[in-house]
A and B are shown apart, each in its own frame.
Chain A
Amino acid sequence: MSMNIVPWTWKRKRVPVGKDEQSISALQRQMNRVFNDLLSGSSILPEFFSEPLTQLGERWTAFVPNVNVSKTETSLIVTVEAPGMDEKDIELSLTKEGLSIRGERKQAHEEKGEGGWNYVESSYGAFERIVPLSDLAIDDDRVTATSSKGMVTITLPLKESAQVSPKKVSIRPT
């Protein structure tokens, strides 16, 4: 049996998350980014659609963590960029739509009432991201999450039956 890996079309189409995750705001962010790249003098022209929209332009929106996904033979590994947070600040659930990652990034010291921030570029707030799992058979009970350096890594082991190595097809001369 060969496993059918559905193409991850959301590589280009962003996973719909956050409060303002609509196409217009994505465009807005991209535009912001162009301007910011120019303003900050880094002047690396954006390569549209080939790069993650993670740069300066996103700073004025609600916090939507960047996510990396990779797949090994035995598991799917999801890394969430969540500065100042650890795995306890994140709530995971497996739903019909996929892996749901929820949490809230809070601004440090805001609860202490130490006076306001005069200048804020980072974004904060509640978020949810869904990583579609397509037809991957996840071993629900063995899902783990760890964190280090503001990156939360979620490991979703695949069920053994799904760990099928590609079958080699021999080609016979006709």
Chain B
Amino acid sequence: MNEQGCCGSQLNDVKATKEVAPAVDIALDESTGAYRIVVDLPGVNEADVEVQAHDGELEIVAGVGGRDNEGDVLLCEAPQRSYRRRFRLAEDIDVEKISAQFEAGVLTLDLPRVASAKPRKIEIRSAH
């Protein structure tokens, strides 16, 4: 009764796992210029989430480990999937300071700007 490519243990076969682009929300903090990216990765273990920044790109890859679906599958709207998404980073994103947290299938990334890129108030000194 299992549908091909759906939920069942046969999905441990890598080829049967579909790769999709996860949904993301992006917010820009206008005062600091930092970005926050929120990525939906339901069903993913934290250990299976990989975030890499290289060559001016940010790549998010997440695999879904074998799901144990006992019994007969009667409905499968959330098949086993793996996720991949890539973003081009602005040049002044501080790659070293990108931070990530993962909770309840949601990955939150904070991407600050390099310090010098923040708007800086310039003091005007008196000429006297």
A residues bordering B, Cβ < 8 Å?
A: 8, 10-11, 40, 42, 44, 50, 52-56, 59, 66-73, 77, 79, 81-86, 107-109, 114-123, 131, 147, 149-151
Contacts and interface: CB of A to CB of B under 8 A. Distances in A.
B7 interface: yes
A120 B3 CA distance: 32
Interface stretch (B39-47, B52-60, B89-97, B112-120): B39-47
Interface of B: 3, 7, 18-21, 23-30, 38, 40-45, 69-79, 103-106, 108
B25 A151 contact: no
A2 to B, nearest CB: 16
A118 B69 CA distance: 38
B27 A117 contact: yes
A8 B78 CA distance: 17
A24 B18 CA distance: 27
B78 A149 contact: no
B105 A151 contact: yes
Contacts of A8: 74-75
Contacts of A67: 75, 77-78
A70 B69 contact: yes
A79 B40 contact: no
A81 B71 contact: no
A52 B80 CA distance: 12
Chain A binding surface, main DSSP class: loop
A116 B30 CA distance: 10
Given A84-B104, A149-B42, A118 B28 contact: yes
A114 B78 contact: no
Contacts of A53: 77
A51 to B, nearest CB: 8
A117 B26 contact: yes
Question: 5 tightest CB-CB pairs across the interface, nearest first?
Answer: A150-B105, A72-B71, A66-B77, A66-B78, A150-B42
Contacts of A82: 42, 105
A47 B72 CA distance: 22
Given A77-B70, A81-B42, A70 B7 contact: yes
A54 B21 CA distance: 11
